[in-house]
Structure 1
Amino acid sequence: MWRDESVTYQVAHRSLGELWGLLGEIDAVHGLYYLLMHAVFAAWDGGLTALRLPSVLATALAAAGVGAIGTRLAGRRAGTLAGLVFAVLPLTQQYAQEGRSYALVTAGVTWATYFFLRATADSRARWWTAYVLTLHLASWLHEFAALVLLAHGLTLWRSRPERRDVRRWAGAAAGVGLGLLPLAVLSAGQAEAQLGWLGRPSAGAWLLFAGLSVVAVLLCRRLIRAGAPGAVPLTRLALPLLIAPAGLLMTLSLVKPWYVDRYVLYGMTGLALPAGAALSWAIGQRHRLAPAARALTACLAAGAAVAVLLPWSLLVRSPESRKDDVVAVARVVERQARPGDGVLFLPARRREWLLSSPGVYGRLDDLALAESPAASRTLQGTERDAAAIRRAVLAADRVIALTDPPGQPLDPFPQEDIKRRTLRTHFEVCERTRVQGAQIVVYARPGRCTP
């Protein structure tokens, strides 16, 4: 479990009153997801399995949606292969086994896209209703899901639709926007606290976005030239879905950083669709090869896929794929802690490392804590002023400090500075343990370190 999953875990275990109070201050964008997870844990408090099971099921549902879209546009085989491609993409696999909302958002957007196709082809009210309701639900799970409206608008424009369909889509988009307005207004007031940690997209992010876009464009171009079934409508849908939401968010992030790849994870549908159609077309050309050549080609393709995807699949299932590992941190603290020990979090937001392990956290005296997370309607609680923190630390004989690994920037706030200076001046290091993304340092008064 890493720090974002820990937030889900501890927030979802709060009472409904405490949860409602939190959403009025921060994290409203994840409010519906937290309520869903609160219901999951109320029904079955199954730890990490319960935390991640909704994401697993949502990814299966999203893969089925990709298959349904591909089947409608390019045939059953292309749809089946597109769903399989979607399922094995590294980004899909990463968020399929993570206790956050992004897999559920992807499932909602994917099925909204399917309903969009049905509505523009059929125009019966039930398809437009399904489109609005599904996209509305996805957007309340995370408001950036609404960016898919841009992709759908581009698809509709390129399809030369009847005016009736344009009017109905515009009405549906307006309905989604109006329904999302309360969340947008509330989360806008929380944006600085919510997204203040973000930087502008890195060169690596731009290169990845450009690389995936180029691959999708080349696949679509090849399908159109080959006259593959459904190549043109598939291209009109897939490329805007992959490029428009992510491209818009990355461009806006040059001015105001808002982009993280998981916020537009649903764009992977736009890569899986042409990849599945291309595989289907290639299989359809097998009659041109001799039997031995077919077998060799199939083996080479399978071997290449395994060679490329297996390392990624293994990586995203390891602690090393995340920024930190709060379970590992809690285990080290549990082993090192003694009755009466104080604990300090440097910086304060690292309190998250223990909040999802109340049995460990409850044994320690949180020296800097002024008000608990639930009482203060915050994610990690509020801390005392610098002078009060210094007095509390000086009154302790042993302190367990949970800090970032060496080389990370230090917070300049007075409370954080006084923690560091007091420990450095009045204590000595007894033990230092490093785990993924964190280090746990045991301090004691000079001469009092014991094995």
Structure 2
Amino acid sequence: MTPPAEPTPPHGRQDWPVWAIPGLLTLAVTFAGIGHAQPWRDELATWSAATRTVPDLVRLAGTIDAATGPYYLLMHGWTALAGTSPTALRLPSALAMAGAAALTARLGARLAGPRAGLLAGLLLAVLPGTSRYGQEARPYALATLLAVLATLLLVGALRRPTWRRFTGYAVAVAALGLLHLIALTLLAAHALVVLLVTWSGPAAAGIAAPPGPTRPADSAAREAANPAPAGTRVLWRWLVALLPAAVLVAPLALAAGGQRGRQLDWVRLVRLDDLAALPGGLAQSGVVGGVLVGLAALGAGRLGRRALLPGAAVLLPVLLLLAAGTAVPLWVTRYLVFTVPFACLLAGAALAGVRLAPALAVVTLAGLLGLPDQAALRRTHEWPRTAPVDYAGVARIVADRQQPGDGIVYSPRDSWLFPDLGLAYHLGARRPRDVLVVRDQRQRADLWASECDRPAECLAGVDRVWLVVTGRRADPLAAVPGAKGDALRGAFTVRQVWPRPGLTVTLLTR
């Protein structure tokens, strides 16, 4: 196969459709049904953290979830302005994914040509995974945006290595690390490209500025007046650009490392079948993930050396997390969402090798294949989607039937399903008194509350108790362990049971 000619990206006002069309399409797709699925467990953690005071947020970061602390601080400011409805919580992620699609198109145009960039952005827009993480109040969409932005700024800085360009890159990398520590594995790909540029120049790394008559005359004049520094100076400037990220992220990484055993106690060591499931998990559709991998492989072959940066941006983070995950429980599919735009860039390069109409047909086909998953993720964000947790349904049952003086009890209290946060989100001040709590989440600087050591005494004076247990239970009262279960069984009888997906709510009377 004859390699394609070096791309000649458009300049000035003519290039806006390349990035604007994917950005607007992504915005439309992620806005569709953005508030339909109720917040799932991770989003409930975001809501709980973001609605605390700044001092409480700092204390929370010292106890658990330090790695997500900067995102919680960002969401604290956002929710103060926009509120805490599902749509409001998810809006920053939707905007970030739209920005990521636009920047993916721009990066693709610079590395592989305008058509490849446009198709890459369009493909990213129609992936179910883009909707999934663009409709989630978690930091993954913002990290995806910053990963593409940092890479785009690096390409510009390596082509014209000025301090101003490296300063923008430094800011993007620091923000990326603050929002998602694992996304800094992207720097392995950046390091590879920087070293190649240092040794052999931009052409060897596949990021050389394309020649062509469309390059503006003033741009050529500036480059002639400011020739590229020697290779070692490029390397030096890149290393200096990493210093702000190192200074800001190091304390965060140390704190997060100390919390890993508690924060990730639900994660197991990685297995080879996890790697096989990665494309489907990232795309949120097995068939669409397979299509993306196949197109990306074809695009890598077509691009040749220009596939180095996007290819490394996909493979190196995956391989690094895979290697770490064999020794430490770290492998979580969604942690690698930031690699998806680079796979789309390679896939866009493959599609750019055919006429535009067939290429757009392939993008449309990928979107159609993902429609069942698009519909499913708007019903629930839980994974697998066959195991939803209906916090809102339980909240409606309690709200419709509660009486003054009612209490509420949760079991288990330390569950990652956060049944207490789910009821607190949907009921607010209308929820019954949490009769066993002695220190709530804010007082503990945690995501879980502390309960009293003598449950029978704490239950004294309460005649009706709403018991919320995780899972579907035929006998919910029997499922409560320990002293709490003994106290409930000794003083209360079951009046009525309402099983809901993922939860069971029971009315107990004395």
Q: After TM superposition, is the score higher than 0.5? A: yes
SS in 1 for 2:471: coil
Partner of 1:59: 97
The separation in 2 between residues aligned to 1:2 and 1:208, in whole angstroms, is 22
The separation in 2 between residues aligned to 1:100 and 1:53, in whole angstroms, is 11
Q: Cα distance, 1:98 vs. partner?
A: 0.8
The separation in 2 between residues aligned to 1:155 and 1:435, in whole angstroms, is 52
Q: Cα distance, 1:136 vs. partner?
A: 0.4
Worse-superposed segment, 257-266 or 315-324: 315-324
Q: Cα distance, 1:128 vs. partner?
A: 1.2
Q: Cα distance, 1:348 vs. partner?
A: 1.0
Answering whether residue 201 of structure 2 is matched by residue 136 of structure 1, we say: no
The within-5 A match list for 1:204-243 is 204-209=273-278, 219=295, 222-223=298-299, 228=302, 231-243=303-315
Partner of 1:176: 245
The within-5 A match list for 1:30-49 is 30-45=68-83, 47-49=85-87
Asked if 1 retains the 8 angstrom alpha-carbon contact of 2:472 and 2:499, the reply is no
- What percentage of residue pairs aligned between the two structures are identical? 32
Amino acid at match of 2:456: R
Amino acid at match of 2:311: L
The separation in 1 between residues aligned to 2:296 and 2:84, in whole angstroms, is 44
Partner of 2:450: 382
Distance 1:416 1:21, change over 3 A: farther
The separation in 1 between residues aligned to 2:495 and 2:381, in whole angstroms, is 27
Q: Cα distance, 1:54 vs. partner?
A: 0.5
Q: Cα distance, 1:332 vs. partner?
A: 2.6
Q: Cα distance, 1:396 vs. partner?
A: 3.2
Asked if 2 retains the 8 angstrom alpha-carbon contact of 1:201 and 1:254, the reply is yes
The separation in 2 between residues aligned to 1:52 and 1:320, in whole angstroms, is 12
Amino acid at match of 1:371: R
- Alignment equivalent of 1:403, drawn from 466, 469, 489: 469
Partner of 2:412: 347
The separation in 2 between residues aligned to 1:111 and 1:302, in whole angstroms, is 23
Q: What's the RMSD between the two structures over aligned residues?
A: 2.8
User: How many positions carry a matched residue from both structures?
Assistant: 421
Answering whether residue 471 of structure 2 is matched by residue 372 of structure 1, we say: no
Amino acid at match of 1:331: R
Distance 1:87 1:417, change over 3 A: farther
Asked if 2 retains the 8 angstrom alpha-carbon contact of 1:3 and 1:325, the reply is no
Q: Deviations over 1:106-131 (max 9, x none)?
A: 11111001111111121111221111
Partner of 1:335: 400
Q: Cα distance, 1:24 vs. partner?
A: 2.4
- Alignment equivalent of 1:308, drawn from 353, 369, 377: 369
Q: TM-score, normalised by structure 1?
A: 0.84
SS in 1 for 2:177: helix
Amino acid at match of 1:243: L
Distance 1:45 1:425, change over 3 A: same
Asked if 1 retains the 8 angstrom alpha-carbon contact of 2:467 and 2:507, the reply is yes
The separation in 2 between residues aligned to 1:371 and 1:258, in whole angstroms, is 31
The separation in 1 between residues aligned to 2:180 and 2:347, in whole angstroms, is 27
Q: Cα distance, 1:46 vs. partner?
A: 5.3
Distance 1:217 1:37, change over 3 A: closer
Asked if 2 retains the 8 angstrom alpha-carbon contact of 1:6 and 1:326, the reply is no
Partner of 2:258: 189
Partner of 1:149: 187
Distance 1:178 1:320, change over 3 A: closer
The separation in 1 between residues aligned to 2:327 and 2:421, in whole angstroms, is 30
Asked if 1 retains the 8 angstrom alpha-carbon contact of 2:314 and 2:342, the reply is yes
Asked if 1 retains the 8 angstrom alpha-carbon contact of 2:63 and 2:445, the reply is yes
Structure 2: runs of 5+ lacking an equivalent: 1-38, 202-230, 283-288
Distance 1:157 1:77, change over 3 A: same
SS in 2 for 1:197: coil
Answering whether residue 379 of structure 2 is matched by residue 318 of structure 1, we say: yes
Structure 1: runs of 5+ lacking an equivalent: 287-293, 446-451
Amino acid at match of 1:308: L
Q: TM-score, normalised by structure 2?
A: 0.75
Answering whether residue 420 of structure 2 is matched by residue 420 of structure 1, we say: no
The separation in 1 between residues aligned to 2:370 and 2:465, in whole angstroms, is 44
Partner of 1:268: 340
Q: Deviations over 1:263-292 (max 9, x none)?
A: 2210101211111111221226x7xxxxxx
Q: Cα distance, 1:321 vs. partner?
A: 4.0
The separation in 1 between residues aligned to 2:436 and 2:403, in whole angstroms, is 18
Partner of 1:121: 159
Amino acid at match of 1:427: F
SS in 2 for 1:345: strand
Amino acid at match of 2:66: A
Asked if 1 retains the 8 angstrom alpha-carbon contact of 2:389 and 2:501, the reply is yes
SS in 1 for 2:329: coil
